[in-house]
Structure 1
Amino acid sequence: MASRRRILAYGAALAAGTLGAAALPAGAASADTTVFADGFEGTDFGAWTRQRIDGNGAMDLVTDPVLAGAQSARFTVPNDGVSYRSEVAHDAFGFGSYSYEFADLVPSDWVTYQYGTILAQWHGYPLADGSDTNPPLSLIVKETYWQFKVHWLDDTGAVQETTLSLPDVTFGAWNRWRIDVTWSTPDTPGSLRIWLNDNQVASYDGVNNYHQNQEPYFKLGIYRPNWNPAKGIPYPTGGPPVVVYDDAVTVTALG
């Protein structure tokens, strides 16, 4: 129940206007340090390092639905043949161990999609040859269930993938995530522990990134890769937009 208590304390602090980006959430161990927090209570997305919309999408601060405080973030990607991303991102926090806590809501009128829709990702940088990479870590809605993917480079420099199966999506309700990451390095092992609504739903031990000069940076929102026109993948257009809500984001460096 520790994660739940931290979310509730977080919401109370947001409502009281006492939580800043460097505040320590109630219940956190003294050896842990909050390095980032955003409950989307301001007038813009300025707490994040970058915002990116590819196509005609949008990101808005809304008052309904809300998990904590008075506002949440709504990300929208229309099905118009050119739009595929609406995300915020924050620069990397450093190698080590971190707990990423956030909540998302996938609306009850979500149109089931056979391919993946990424709602959170930890992204690397182009490889030495200039080629882009899959995100080392990504949280995905695929059809009616959650997935978590891990990408890394093997000894030959080839990208490898592990897919962790997660529970079915509960549409129209808040999903409270806690994702604990220890970044692997060439000399140290990595690990991954995932909780959904206080229940541990997955774990992974091993290489979890590309061992670049910087560890992956955090992105939140909507990314639908198969809708990227550059990929040349045909799909039916004209349907309803893809919409996701996010709230109560905290990143804690684990001591």
Structure 2
Amino acid sequence: MPLAVPLSPAGRPARLFSACTSALLVAGLAAASPAAAADSVSYDFESPSQKLPFMAINGFGRVLVGPAPGGRSGQAARVNIPNDGRSFKSELVIKGLDAGSHRFTFANYLPGDWQERDLDTIVAQWFSTQDDGGGIKPVVALSVHGAYWQLKVHWMTNGEIQETVIPLGAARPGHWNRWAFDITWSSAGKPGSIAVTRDGVTVGSHQGANNYHRGEPPHFRIGAYRPNWRPEKGPSKRVGASEAVLFLDDIAITSTTPGSRPDVRATAPGGAASPSESPAPSPSPSPTGSPSTSSSDRPGEALAGGGTAHGAMAQEARTDATVHGSAGRIGVVGGALGGAAALAGGAFFLLRRRTAKGSTRRAHRRTRT
């Protein structure tokens, strides 16, 4: 409600002051209720009422929410693919993202009895559905192969799919990994970039083309996928293999600006150099990474107990959303507040001048009479 002020004979200063006060209140409400950032979503699996993303399951795999393992408090998603001759994929699918820049953060956990196999188990992938609907490799895929993490990046040259493999360090069964992927998608005339951190340490990066530049923008899939278990590839890859079981938690996607990076510690020894914030166009994408064990693979470098900071990933995403998504809004709101305050101050000054002039004229009339 506008503040009450004396009316001048014409009433204009009071109306001006009232309008400026209303503008100030509106600006204050805008500051108290910022708009949600676009292209942002998170899942922490703690609320029974939280609606989960679409599940892509081939065969008899499952994605179930239950107690988190490894000393981590709260809930997590348990993903499994049974070795039954039919099942090969159990994933959560998040679509609707644009072809710009995003930060993807999540935590995953390989159980202590994880079986090392000389085959890929993809645990996160970015997939671009093509116009012809045909099967095609994911543009980016994080997988565990044998005893190591690796990242595969695909792009197309003259109609042929190209691939680069970036080693990301040793996998550690029985350990919660905190991942962050900063991805700017390339276009036909502009290079993209990928920066990967695990447990706060840079472990790999890629500059250049990172998708096929056709079809829909890449969407995000997370869970477990064993391409070599597809039924058409025969039973030989399944012989002696146990079912795939892993856990997921604190999935968050946030829109960012090109070149933005998470807060990270120094690059792990022998790891990737930080990518340039303004990559020059390059016909040949340049990956960097390290096959050696990163500093985060040593005891004491990760979060104590793997779970004493449950929700750390979601907190990182919330902090990042505040930094990258709210800065512009804060500037706009600040400008609105400042402008409204200036108008209100001007109206009050004008009101005082008119009031003073009216008092002077009344004094002169009393003197003449």
Q: Sort the TM-score into its range (normalised by shorter chain).
A: 0.7 to 0.9
Write the distance in 2 (CA, Å) between the matches of 1:44 and 1:52.
20
- Following superposition, the deviation at residue 126 of structure 1 comes to 2.9
- Following superposition, the deviation at residue 213 of structure 1 comes to 4.1
In structure 2, the partner of 1:173 is 175
In structure 2, the partner of 1:137 is 140
**Which shifted more, 198-207 or 57-66?**
57-66
The one-letter code sitting in structure 2 at the alignment partner of 1:98 is H
CA contact (8 A) 1:138 1:149 kept: yes
Quickly say closer, same or farther: Cα 1:45–1:199, change in 2 above 3 A.
same
**Which shifted more, 229-238 or 189-198?**
229-238
Quickly say closer, same or farther: Cα 1:40–1:254, change in 2 above 3 A.
same
| Unmatched segments (≥5 aa) in structure 2 | 1-36, 258-369
Secondary structure at the aligned position of 1:230 is classed as helix
Please identify which structure carries the higher helix content. 2
- Following superposition, the deviation at residue 114 of structure 1 comes to 0.5
In structure 1, the partner of 2:108 is 104
**Which shifted more, 230-239 or 33-42?**
230-239
- Following superposition, the deviation at residue 64 of structure 1 comes to 2.5
Equivalent of residue 237 in structure 2, options 235, 238, 245: 235
Counterparts of 1:1-255 in structure 2, within 5 Å, are 35-43=40-48, 46-48=51-53, 50-65=54-69, 70-126=74-130, 128=132, 130-154=133-157, 156-232=158-234, 234-237=236-239, 239-255=241-257
Write the distance in 2 (CA, Å) between the matches of 1:166 and 1:197.
12
Quickly say closer, same or farther: Cα 1:194–1:87, change in 2 above 3 A.
same
| Per-residue deviation, residues 143-186 of structure 1 (Å, max 9, x unmatched) | 000000001111x1100001001100011010000000000011
| Per-residue deviation, residues 11-40 of structure 1 (Å, max 9, x unmatched) | xxxxxxxxxxxxxxxxxxxxx766010011
Quickly say closer, same or farther: Cα 1:44–1:173, change in 2 above 3 A.
farther
Aligned residue pairs, count? 223
| Per-residue deviation, residues 67-125 of structure 1 (Å, max 9, x unmatched) | 87621000011111111111110104101111100010011101111010000000011
Quickly say closer, same or farther: Cα 1:239–1:137, change in 2 above 3 A.
closer
The one-letter code sitting in structure 2 at the alignment partner of 1:139 is L
In structure 2, the partner of 1:12 is none
Compare CA radii of gyration and give the structure with the larger one. 2
Provide the TM-score with structure 2 as the length reference. 0.57
CA contact (8 A) 2:70 2:175 kept: no
Write the distance in 1 (CA, Å) between the matches of 2:71 and 2:141.
23
Write the distance in 2 (CA, Å) between the matches of 1:174 and 1:91.
26
Please identify which structure carries the higher strand content. 1
Write the distance in 2 (CA, Å) between the matches of 1:212 and 1:52.
23
- Following superposition, the deviation at residue 131 of structure 1 comes to 2.9
Quickly say closer, same or farther: Cα 1:201–1:170, change in 2 above 3 A.
same
Backbone CA RMSD of aligned residues: 2.2
Secondary structure at the aligned position of 2:213 is classed as coil
| Per-residue deviation, residues 195-243 of structure 1 (Å, max 9, x unmatched) | 0100001111000011124211000000000011022352344753210
CA contact (8 A) 2:128 2:215 kept: no
Write the distance in 2 (CA, Å) between the matches of 1:45 and 1:134.
31
Quickly say closer, same or farther: Cα 1:135–1:67, change in 2 above 3 A.
farther
Quickly say closer, same or farther: Cα 1:238–1:35, change in 2 above 3 A.
same
| Unmatched segments (≥5 aa) in structure 1 | 1-31
Quickly say closer, same or farther: Cα 1:177–1:81, change in 2 above 3 A.
same
The one-letter code sitting in structure 2 at the alignment partner of 1:72 is A
Quickly say closer, same or farther: Cα 1:233–1:79, change in 2 above 3 A.
closer
Provide the TM-score with structure 1 as the length reference. 0.81
Quickly say closer, same or farther: Cα 1:82–1:213, change in 2 above 3 A.
closer
**Which shifted more, 199-208 or 89-98?**
89-98
Secondary structure at the aligned position of 1:184 is classed as coil
- Following superposition, the deviation at residue 51 of structure 1 comes to 0.5
The one-letter code sitting in structure 2 at the alignment partner of 1:106 is L
CA contact (8 A) 2:81 2:243 kept: yes
Q: Which has the higher contact order (CA 8 A, sep 6+)?
A: 1
Quickly say closer, same or farther: Cα 1:162–1:44, change in 2 above 3 A.
farther
